[in-house]
Structure 1
Amino acid sequence: MTKFEESSVLLNADLGEGATSDSELFKLVDLANIACGGHAGDEHSMRLCCELALEQGVSVGPHPSYPDREGFGRRRPDGPVHNLYGELMRQVDSFLEIAALSNCPVTHLKAHGQLYNDAAFDPVLGELMLKLSLHYGNLKLLVLANSPLEIQALNAGVNILREGFPDRAYWGDGALVERSMPGAVLHDSFQVASQAKAMALGEPISSLDGEWLAFTVDTLCLHGDNPQALANARAVRAMVPRAGNPER
């Protein structure tokens, strides 16, 4: 058995965001991050995602965001950060209520969009996400691998899953390239799968500004809103053998 075949990296996807490929993606991933009203999602979509997760044995977690449905959670709002905590709790609570009614176990938590990117490097927003995770029983928090938030979480005793993004380009400092930049999103499924394989093995990948990055990941994200989401997921699943999900 090769080193790669022994990989235990899990696949996750951001789902419940209105994409048409959700039902097929549930068959391919180990973890699903479910939109809970901040950038997308409503009671119906959350309930449907819980039903699909139970059918496929997929672990679920809330996917809260800045309250920005018009901008799909990709714009940072004005105002003090402390006002955001109550909004995030409202989103998470709405998902947890539906998950409980569906008898769907909740295992993790992942911020969406701009909140995810901001929290990875802003210690104040990072602390807010750590506080949220601990408030809900220390749900495993998905964090950008090799980011300041990874260290912040470990120091705070928060359970984490270090995350890589096969379908996104990186800067040399480990940050994701802004979506407004050309080349920020990878659309070729072979390229996405190749980057996934490198990440799973801890091998270096090339950043958009010419640096080489290598980091350890526990999970790889496939964006459900990408037009190539299903093709990407199938290609990555072929590259990343299913190792079984200990949270199931």
Structure 2
Amino acid sequence: MIDLNSDLGEGFGIWRLGDDDALLEVVTSANVACGFHAGDPSTMRSVCARAAERGVAVGAQVSYRDLAGFGRRFIDADPRELADEVLYQIGALDACARAAGTSVSYVKPHGALYNATVHHQVQAAAVVDGVRAFGPLPVLGLPGSLLLAEAERAGLRPVREAFADRGYTPDGVLVPRNRDGALLRDTDAVVDRVLGIARDGRLTAVDGTVLTVEIDSVCLHGDTPGAVGHARAVRHALTEAGLTPGRFVTA
């Protein structure tokens, strides 16, 4: 069984990004934007309600306070403020989730914060401090990251994640979005990536290096061109291969 997660609720006001309804028919976990890089109270509550109806786990996708940059710019944040802002975002989403009859089940950093916590000790610890202040929620992150090491040290469940539609460097980190190879755009390539991870624990970096990975969840980005088609094809291929999509959160 393999969890499929996607970044949802990333519109703002009248602006919409991605097809949340279609993706909620495919994924098993929803990383919902909490208002700092995208999202607003009405969007958050609506996505939580639709996730609850479909039995999809709700996760808080926490970010730097960076609406203008969509959370994709590094911010040298004060660690105490960053921890407080992580706590604030989880609490806001949990209020919306509880109004919809569910609750926040896990936390995943977004964008530049996600990438920073791979190697940035202070920010990784700050994110974990914010999560722990809320409660013992699982934390999604890149395998081998300082974020997951800090989560485990704090007694939180580390959830290892791979990306269906992002390029990897030979070091096992994501190719920056402003470089060639950052995105996989072909549906067949996305499906092959996920099947390789799920069946063999392997993926190929942009230079051809074969990486060994152990993961608990696969991310299908909601804002990638062709995202819904990719997601549907991945779910179909997994099912055909006898690999049932299912939530890593069981309660």
Q: TM-score with structure 2 length normalisation?
A: 0.90
Deviation readout 1:157-189 (Å, 9 max, x if unpaired)? 221211000100101111100000011011101
Q: Secondary structure at the match of 1:149?
A: helix
| Gapped regions of structure 2 (runs ≥ 5) | 12-16
In the superposition, relative to structure 1, how do residues 91 and 149 fare at CA in structure 2: closer, same or farther (>3 Å)?
A: closer
Q: What are the equivalent positions in structure 2 for 1:94-243 lying under 5 Å apart?
A: 94-241=92-239, 242-243=244-245
Residue pair 2:29, 2:57 contacting (<8 A) in 1 also: yes
Q: Secondary structure at the match of 1:110?
A: strand
Separation (CA, whole Å) in 2 of partners of 1:158 and 1:128:
14
Q: How many residues align?
A: 241
Q: Structure 1 stretch 131-140 or stretch 162-171: which is displaced more?
A: 131-140
Identical aligned pairs, as a percentage?
38
Please report how far the alpha carbon of residue 128 of structure 1 lies from its aligned counterpart in structure 2 after TM superposition: 1.5
Deviation readout 1:50-102 (Å, 9 max, x if unpaired)? 11101111000111101111111000124433322222222222111111222
Residue pair 2:28, 2:245 contacting (<8 A) in 1 also: no
The counterpart of 1:13, out of the listed 6, 31, 42, is 6
| Gapped regions of structure 1 (runs ≥ 5) | 1-7
In the superposition, relative to structure 1, how do residues 83 and 134 fare at CA in structure 2: closer, same or farther (>3 Å)?
A: closer
Q: CA RMSD in A?
A: 1.6
Residue pair 2:2, 2:246 contacting (<8 A) in 1 also: no
Q: What are the equivalent positions in structure 2 for 1:36-47 lying under 5 Å apart?
A: 36-47=34-45
Q: Secondary structure at the match of 2:220?
A: strand
Match of 1:3 in 2: none
Q: Secondary structure at the match of 2:60?
A: strand
1:244 paired to 2:237: no
State the one-letter code of the partner of 1:12: N
In the superposition, relative to structure 1, how do residues 45 and 185 fare at CA in structure 2: closer, same or farther (>3 Å)?
A: same
Separation (CA, whole Å) in 2 of partners of 1:79 and 1:156:
21
Match of 1:4 in 2: none
In the superposition, relative to structure 1, how do residues 184 and 228 fare at CA in structure 2: closer, same or farther (>3 Å)?
A: same
Q: TM-score with structure 1 length normalisation?
A: 0.91
Q: What are the equivalent positions in structure 2 for 1:51-66 lying under 5 Å apart?
A: 51-66=49-64
